[in-house]
Amino acid sequence: MCGIVGYIGEKNVYSILVKGLQRLEYRGYDSAGICIANSGLKVYKKKGKVSELESFVASKDIHGSIGIGHTRWATHGEPNDLNAHPHTSMNGHFVLVHNGIIENYAELKKDLSEKGMVFHTDTDTEVLANLIEYYYQQEEVDSAEMAVRVALTKVVGAYGIVVLCNDEPEKMIAARMGSPLVIGIGQGEYFLASDASPIVEYTDSVIYMNDGDVAILEKNSMLLKTVENSAANFKVTKLDLSIGDLDKGDFEHYMLKEIFEQPKTISDTYRGRINPEKNDIVLGGLIDVWDQITAANRIIIIGCGTSWHAALVAEYLIEEYARVPVEVEYASEFRYRKPIIGKGDVVVAISQSGETADTLAALKMAKEKGALILGICNVVGSSIARETDAGVYTHAGTEIGVASTKAFTAQVTVLTLFAFKLAHKKEKIDQQTYELFIEEMLAIPDKVQSILLGHPKIKEVAEKYSEAINALYLGRGYLFPVALEGALKLKEISYIHAEGYAAGEMKHGPIALVDDNLPVVVVSAQDSYYEKVVSNIQEVKARKGNIIAVVTEEDNGLREMANDLFEIPCSHPAVASLLTVVPLQLFAYYIALMRGCDVDQPRNLAKSVTVE
């Protein structure tokens, strides 16, 4: 949440900042702003998207080669010009951009107000700017860097900040605690950003800052220390990202591009992990911890949103095939509900971004209690990936659309491989079943491709329902999480109220919603729940609900009852979630498009939720 970019070097900073902000816009798009150091610190900021900032600065002085920028997702204070970042300290000595939340800001603000400092905004960030300035004015503080470090020792909360000081305009100071910051290393220049997307165009040499790090950057030098003023450990790494990954290509939206990438992202995710010659699954990242995993009393899987839905699929798989008890928890609940965890538990944290604050905090809590912590993340080097004992990356590539699509299928791919491998290791499935599962997984990309080819039909159906006010999504077994995911996709990008339900639960309440205006999306496959689902749908039919059914080619029950059909190829039920979710992603996409919604940047949302 919130995107930060910074540059110090010889280049024209304005274009680096604006391009960077456009790439980071998926992290927040309430307002945007920049500060350029050029005979003083010039700040320009505007409510709305980066394009509005661009129009606003068109007539302004934007020369300079040092600067910082920010795109905001509002936490403290409504999204308006005043609350937009960068924020300037009372006497104009410091300008800073911030991602995160200063939890003790009210207390600090009161204290600073009593000391005579004046505030103009509702933000926690302005408090930090004034706090730095307050220490800068103290006799024992001899530099901007020291003022930043001292101020940060008084702060409770999460931050990624980049600071410019009027008196030291050739310097950029950055600090991280809980909110990511990446330093890009060029020739006589440095870049700073919340993720690598603004940097990749200029250099592939980066440092992921650690919590507690402070970086002091000048054109030709970099000093990394801790807030306590000792030397910091860091590692220069090579980016595994290309500029092409960040383009929409020929697609109208990132979300559509990402949906269509799934045949590739699923196979990229299992490539190198399935050995078809040896009929085996090898998860390299778990090699050293399999003994602990196979000996586990139970597996707890945590995540948020779509990642939580992927976790639910895993619960069905692991319990059915590996016979290990699994609990799936919302990270935001798990971290606060004093759960009983200890040695012998395995906690798996699932996160596309690897930065979700609740998931990160929940895993840290479980780690302290002695559980083995595994991670399934998409973003390499992300905070969650770095906190875990072991893990497996999904190889979905950069996901920019706020609605998660390819990340979900990549997560389910990893979790399915994990479940099959665990079942095999624990001798709960025989070699023949193991090999059948591997074959089924290898067949998924082509099957997804064939579903994607059917997109015109899905678009046609979407047109029929684009004016709906509510929608119900039903599924059972492996396809219950898919119903939840389908409903989440629809509500987050089209703003239609949609609920996902276990089909068997419908008669306990949601059936009251059914009338001839309600679209009811039923997700089915040829599995052991099929007949039960058919009976549940009879109940919808009897009440004149509009049935949109995801069915397999072999279906000969639901298709008779449905008003509209999305047909998918047959598969083993254990991998059916990877297929059934695809028409639902496209359905949500087309409906949002027809309703004129901002598909890639839906209102109130941000891609990476780094606040709780």
Q: What residues are labeled active site?
A: 2, 607
Q: Does 265 participate in binding ligand M6R (rule CB under 6 A)?
A: no
H helix runs in 96-226, sequence order? 105-114, 124-136, 144-153
How far CA 83 is from CA of 72, 74, 109, in Å, comes to: 9, 8, 16
Q: Which of the 8 DSSP states describes residue 585?
A: H
Q: Which residues contact 451 (CB under 8 A, 6 or more apart)?
A: 566, 568, 569, 579, 582, 583
Count how many Cα atoms sit within 13 Å of the Cα of residue 108 in the half-sphere of its side chain: 25
Find the residue with minimal CB distance to ligand M6R.
Answer: 305
SS3 335: coil
Residue 341 or 403 having the CB closest to ligand M6R:
403
CB of 315 to ligand M6R, least distance (A): 17
Site size for ligand M6R (CB under 6 A): 16
Q: Which of 492, 527, 564, 600 binds ligand M6R (CB under 6 A)?
A: 492
Residue 14: both structure tokens together: 């304005």
Q: Does 356 participate in binding ligand M6R (rule CB under 6 A)?
A: yes
Q: Which of 89, 123, 125, 404 binds ligand M6R (CB under 6 A)?
A: 404
Q: Other CB atoms closer than 10 Å to residue 237's CB: what's the count?
A: 15
CB of 493 to ligand M6R, least distance (A): 8
Q: Does 99 participate in binding ligand M6R (rule CB under 6 A)?
A: no
**Is residue 562 a contact partner of residue 542, using CB atoms and an 8 Å limit?**
no
Q: Which of residues 8-27 bind ligand M6R (CB under 6 A)?
A: none
Q: Does 351 participate in binding ligand M6R (rule CB under 6 A)?
A: yes
Q: Which of 69, 305, 375, 391 binds ligand M6R (CB under 6 A)?
A: 305
Q: Which of 200, 208, 164 is nearest to 183 (CA)?
A: 208
Query: What is the C-alpha to C-alpha distance for residues 333 and 331, in angstroms, rounded to an integer?
Result: 5
Q: What are phi and psi of 303, to 5 degrees?
A: 180, 180
Query: What is the C-alpha to C-alpha distance for residues 224 and 222, in angstroms, rounded to an integer?
Result: 7
Residue 1 or 479 having the CB closest to ligand M6R:
1
Q: Which of 194, 197, 269, 307 binds ligand M6R (CB under 6 A)?
A: 307
Q: Which of 125, 130, 306, 546 binds ligand M6R (CB under 6 A)?
A: 306
Scanning 48-56, 94-102, 244-252, 400-408 for contacts with ligand M6R by CB under 6 A, the matching segment is: 400-408
Scanning 269-277, 353-361, 463-471, 518-526 for contacts with ligand M6R by CB under 6 A, the matching segment is: 353-361
Q: Does 359 participate in binding ligand M6R (rule CB under 6 A)?
A: yes
Q: Does 304 participate in binding ligand M6R (rule CB under 6 A)?
A: yes
Q: Does 194 participate in binding ligand M6R (rule CB under 6 A)?
A: no
| Residues pairing with 281 in the sheet | 274
Q: Does 179 participate in binding ligand M6R (rule CB under 6 A)?
A: no
Q: Other CB atoms closer than 10 Å to residue 340's CB: what's the count?
A: 6
Q: Which of residues 434-453 bind ligand M6R (CB under 6 A)?
A: none
CB of 418 to ligand M6R, least distance (A): 17
Scanning 117-125, 285-293, 300-308, 562-570 for contacts with ligand M6R by CB under 6 A, the matching segment is: 300-308
Q: Which of 173, 183, 122, 121 is nearest to 152 (CA)?
A: 173
**Is residue 235 a contact partner of residue 218, using CB atoms and an 8 Å limit?**
no
Q: Which of 99, 262, 269, 352 binds ligand M6R (CB under 6 A)?
A: 352
Q: For the chain, count helices (H), then strands (E).
A: 19, 26
Q: Which of 405, 399, 396, 339 is nearest to 369 (CA)?
A: 339
Q: Does 416 participate in binding ligand M6R (rule CB under 6 A)?
A: no
Query: What is the C-alpha to C-alpha distance for residues 548 and 546, in angstroms, rounded to an integer?
Result: 7
Q: Which of 99, 353, 494, 585 binds ligand M6R (CB under 6 A)?
A: 353
**Is residue 147 a contact partner of residue 130, using CB atoms and an 8 Å limit?**
no
Scanning 180-188, 350-358, 527-535, 591-599 for contacts with ligand M6R by CB under 6 A, the matching segment is: 350-358
Q: Which residues bind ligand M6R (CB under 6 A)?
A: 304-307, 351-353, 356, 359, 402-404, 488, 492, 605, 609
